[in-house]
Amino acid sequence: MRCPYCNALEDRVVDSRMSQEGRAVRRRRECVNCGRRFTTYEYIEERRLQVVKRDGSSQPYDRQKIVDAIRIAATKRPISSGEIEALVEDIEDTIARSGRDEIASRQIGELVMDRLKSVDYVAYVRFASVYRNFQDLEEFYEELRDLSARRARAAASEGQAELPL
């Protein structure tokens, strides 16, 4: 490490400790040449996730785009900002666990729809109608029929009692 005072390249580490909630290592160093002390921070170089768009182009991941899309779909629905943030956190955790540097925008859209479906059906349909680009009412009705059937199956399975063994 180059000394900020005399530009010498030799120093020794006097103290090391975790900093910034474990995201960095703070090191106190002493220059061997001039004896002055200075502080350095060591960070993990984070990889930037790239989103591959439908047209094949690529751009950096932008969390705010997902938040805005969900917020628009959830307009005038009983979904709090905290719930939206939790949805986006869950989506980002899923993406991070995949360990990939690139993800298709289509996959992000599917993750958003999966999460919205379990939170609010109306917000899900709003998002799906824009995301899937429904061309006519029949496509929209088909999605509503599927959603209604899924909801009926879930309600029926809740009402069934388990049989004793």
Q: Where are the domains of the chain?
A: 11-43, 50-140
Per the structure block, which two tokens stand in for 7?
A: 């530009």
Q: Do the beta carbons of residue 28 and residue 19 sit within 8 Å?
A: no
Q: In the predicted model, is pLDDT for residue 111 greater than 70? A: yes
> pLDDT digits over 76-99, tens only?
999 999 999 999 999 998 998 888
pTM: 0.62
Mean pLDDT (the chain) is: 88
Q: In the predicted model, is pLDDT for residue 38 greater than 80? A: yes
Residue with tokens 């059937």: 149
- State the pLDDT at residue 163: 55
Question: How much of the chain exceeds pLDDT 70, in percent?
Answer: 95
- State the pLDDT at residue 2: 93
Per the structure block, which two tokens stand in for 126?
A: 């709003």
Quick one: how far is CA 3 from the chain centroid?
39
